[in-house]
Amino acid sequence: MSVPKGFKFVGIYCGIKKCKKDLAIAFSQTMCTACGMFTTNTVKAAPVIYDKEVLEQNPEGIRAVVVNSGNANACTGEEGAKNVVRMAKKVAEELGIEPQSVVVASTGVIGVQLPIEKIENGMQKAVSLLQDDPIQFAEAIMTTDTAIKLSYREVELKGKTVRILGIAKGSGMIHPNLATMLSFIFTDAKISHNALKKILKNSVDKSYNMIDVDRDTSTNDSVIVLANGMAQNEEIVEGTEQYCHFENAFDEVNIELARKIVEDGEGATKLIQVEVINASDEESAKKIARSVVSSNLVKTAIYGEDPNWGRIIAAAGYSGMVFDISKVDLHLSNGRKSITVFQNGKGVYFDEQIAKQILSSTKIFLKIDMNCGNSKATAWGCDLTEKYIQINGRYRT
């Protein structure tokens, strides 16, 4: 995997965690067009508040991203806000750039002040180790993640190769409308700010806003994209063929990252995909899919390998969308075998042994056919296990 031209990455241990990497920096050789989307939680961490302002004031002049893990810098008051500024200033000083060209992110425990001196000292070391390989950056932003999350695509635009690299973290506190997740997308595409902003919003709606682990929305959720233009392609603007090609590749990156997040859900053993088809409109399809994938009763039934279709239909019913239940069908699959358990609004006979084989797989596909239109949507989640409780019962201690 090559990386987008002009980007360098690093991840090191600076002393926030007990021993694992906890400080990451990404740097662009040139100014980037940038935009972001952030948590819908009313309680927002200091870096989220800071980044929203920076990206609004300097949308075409971002050069660097600095991230710490192990500490969320959320609910930390005036001192927390000052520490975000200190992080941006120190990185800028070490890189020889302006502080307003730096965005900052944090993830970890809420309500604890950052060990800012350790972070500042770490930045001096980190900047000297910047390299093309993004693996250490991906490692340094992890919290309860068990694996790094990377996605990469290339797209040809009128003879120019444009590269897109996505790096994410997330395992718990994952719910539609963003989650305890950070996602950074780096591309060497030349693209207008308006086009990038529109593509990001639409992509987030298809990916990160369609996943669930535990129905919790965090204080720190951020998705930030940087485009430095070093691919030297003709500028991507709305309404062009190049826009569509770039958008498709961009979506693929984010959907892959979103799936990796739920596959790595805290304590998870199974990926759940909920596909709603033939719905009356896209909004209905999305809300029904998200309602089912977010249901704790559905999650626990799938963990227990129990074909309890009633929980799935009930979750569709409380989605807030109105539909004719007498038209609805439900199919279960593992990609190899498939059965129908509900048809025309009522349960039907199915082979319990085949159902058990399907639900014992690590990937479970639920297809809900509304039979009332042409719209569709897909959501992703995971099962809910005893290990989830173990992980979160001792998260702070």
| Rounded (5°) CA angle 292-294-300 | 90
* H-helix or E-strand spanning residue 264: none
Tokens of 252: 């693929």
Cα separation, 253 vs 275, whole angstroms? 19
Which of 76, 107, 143, 180 is an active site residue?
180
Q: How far is CA 3 from CA 134, 150, 157, 161, 185, in A?
A: 8, 11, 17, 12, 11
180 assigned to active site = yes
The three-state secondary structure class of 111 is coil
Cα separation, 21 vs 14, whole angstroms? 7
Distance of alpha carbon 177 from the chain centroid: 10
Cα separation, 343 vs 125, whole angstroms? 62
At 193, give phi and psi (nearest 5°). Answer: -60, -40
Instruction: List the beta bridge partners of residue 25.
Output: 10, 66
- What residues are annotated to the active site? 180
